[in-house]
Amino acid sequence: MALPPKLLVIEDDPAIRRLLRVTLERSGHAVAEAGSAREALSLLSIEKPQVILLDLGLPDRDGLELVQLLKRGSEATLIVVSAREATSEKVAALDLGADDYLVKPFDTEELLARIRAALRHRLDAQGAAHRIEAGGLVIDLDHRRVTRDGAEVHLAPKEYGVLALLAAKPDRVLSHAQILREVWGPAQADRVEYLRIVVRSLRQKLEADPARPSLIVNELGVGYRLKPGA
Ligand code: CA
């Protein structure tokens, strides 16, 4: 039998930590817990988690600093858990290498869905076909081809660039700056207006209802996420 996926929960609030452990174990994960940054770093090499849930507000070390240390010290997918008001912290965490974030207080189903997505990506990264399907839409990353109900959708190069980047990490949020850096280049990383224009045009071409997008969704103040389940 395959071992259950190992998760490391880094959270200083004992009640939340306990809740997370119970929830995650009930859904079949093995869970290690750390109540501080120091404890987390010492557990990292022993537990070798596949997914890390990191509360940014820890007593003994700046959460953002810990993002870098954790990414440097392990191969784990890192999901940051942060308070609603701290948009700039979420963006900073993503830009420092975090793979996703959740807003506190989070919904249990949403948390489990993010973890499933993280584990799925890890499998995909080991060499599955790069093909994303959502409703009638097929994004074929290997052939740089997008079809909607069987008909080819013509995309401008920047449109394809943004879509391909999001599609390569379905269900994951990418910050505005990350997308701009990849598609436009580092010098344009703060030109969010360029990105908005391209996303608007992509939605016109791809969404069933461009005014209420279900494929390329906004993460308010942070970036965009592609939802393949739409
Ligand atoms: Ca905390």
What CATH number is attached to the domain comprising 23?
Answer: 3.40.50.2300
Write the pLDDT tens digit of every residue in 106-127: 888 999 988 988 887 776 665 5
Write the pLDDT tens digit of every residue in 176-228: 999 999 999 989 999 999 999 999 999 999 998 999 999 999 998 899 999 87
- Top pLDDT among 128 and 65 is at 65
Ligand 1 centroid from CA 119, angstroms: 25
Ligand 1 centroid from CA 10, angstroms: 9
Ligand 1 centroid from CA 11, angstroms: 6
> How many other β-carbons are positioned within 10 Å of the β-carbon of residue 28?
8
119 shares a domain with 220: no
Ligand 1 centroid from CA 202, angstroms: 38
- Yes or no: say if 23 and 70 are a contact pair by the CB < 8 Å rule: no
∠ CA 211-179-58, nearest 5°, is 100
87 shares a domain with 16: yes
pLDDT over threshold 70, residue 80: yes
Ligand 1 centroid from CA 56, angstroms: 7
- Top pLDDT among 83 and 147 is at 147
The domain boundary, picked from 105, 125, 145, lies at 125
Ligand 1 centroid from CA 4, angstroms: 27
Residues, beta carbon < 5 Å, ion ligand 1 = 12, 55, 57
Q: For the chain, what is the mean pLDDT?
A: 88
Q: Where are the alpha helices (DSSP H) in 27-148?
A: 37-47, 63-73, 87-95, 108-125
- Top pLDDT among 45 and 53 is at 53
The domain boundary, picked from 125, 148, 167, lies at 125
Name the token pair of 31: 């869970």
156 shares a domain with 66: no
Return the closest-CA partner of residue 172 out of 220, 109, 86, 101.
Answer: 101
121 shares a domain with 135: no
Cα–Cα distance for residue pair 142/160, rounded to 1 Å: 13
54 shares a domain with 136: no
pLDDT over threshold 80, residue 18: yes
**CA separation, residue 214 to residues 157, 225, 228 (Å):** 22, 10, 9
Cα–Cα distance for residue pair 202/157, rounded to 1 Å: 11
pTM: 0.68
For position 1, what pLDDT does the model report?
A: 45
Of the given ranges (35-44, 96-105, 203-212, 217-226), which has the lowest mean pLDDT? 96-105
For position 39, what pLDDT does the model report?
A: 96
Domains: count for the chain: 2
Residue 1 lies in a domain: no
159 shares a domain with 214: yes
Instruction: Show the domain range for 141.
Output: 131-226
Could you tell me the CATH number of the domain that includes residue 190? 1.10.10.10
Give 187's DSSP letter: G
121 shares a domain with 138: no
